[in-house]
Structure 1
Amino acid sequence: MAWIVLVVSGVLETVWAAALARSRGFTAVLPSVTFLVALVLSMAGLAYALRSIPVGTGYATWVGIGAVGTALYGMVALGEPTTAARLLCLVAIVAGVVGLKFLH
């Protein structure tokens, strides 16, 4: 159960990062509220997961999911460059996270 909560929390990290970008410095209400709710839920889920997952593995997994998700969001929704090198770097992050899970 802790791993499922951790993955959902990582996805929520992507949500709050995207909402932060759209909040225009917290001047847009809906993205600002979305940011706050997703941030609180993401942190709460991380805290819950870290009760049974080692902090190094859990935090790296959470950050990895959020970083990859946010980068993909930027490429797909915001038109950021999608290059082979960038995609390869994202694959490296995923491989590292998967490695941490299986070496846990």
Structure 2
Amino acid sequence: MNWILLVIAGLFEVAFAACLGKAKEATGIETRYWYIGFLVCLGISMFLLVKVSRQLPIGTAYAVWTGIGAVGTVLIGIWFFKEPATFWRLFFITTLIASIIGLKVVSH
């Protein structure tokens, strides 16, 4: 169950990064809504990370959380913010995913 919560926490990390990207593009009152979304997603993500770190090693939990956030944020950037999807970006994202899986495999 803790691993599922950790993945959810990582997805909320992606969401708060996406909110920051959208807030940068927004104007007026819409900007405030994106910042509120950022704060809500940040709070949920941190709450879940704290919760799972009580059962999982903090080094592993934090590395997986940030890895999910990094991979997800890069993919959101490519899909929604039209950032380039170069060979090397995709290569290193793939190695990051392999590292996250590796941490899961070797953690008890």
User: Which runs of at least 4 in structure 1 moved beyond 6 Å after TM superposition?
Assistant: none
Query: Are 1:41 and 2:47 an aligned pair?
Result: no
Instruction: Report what 2:91 is aligned to.
Output: 88
CA deviation after TM superposition for structure 1 residue 25, in Å: 9.4
The residue number in structure 2 matching 1:10 is 10
- Mind listing any 5+ residue stretches in structure 2 that lack a counterpart? none
3-state DSSP of counterpart to 1:72:
helix
**Distance across 1 between alignment mates of 2:4 and 2:45:** 12
2:58 corresponds to? 55
- 1-structure distance, mates of 2:97, 2:54: 23
Aligned sequence identity (%)? 40
Q: Per-residue displacement from partner, 1:21-75 (whole Å, max 9, x unpaired)?
A: 2223996111011000000000000000101110110000000000000000000
Aligned residue for 1:72?
75
AA partner of residue 48 (structure 2): G
AA aligned opposite 2:103: L
Q: Normalized against structure 1, the TM-score is what?
A: 0.95
Please state whether the residue corresponding to 2:84 is helix, strand or coil: coil
CA distance in 2 between counterparts of 1:69 and 1:20 reads: 14
CA separation in 1, counterparts of 2:13 and 2:100? 15
What is the TM-score when the length of structure 2 is the normalising length?
Answer: 0.92
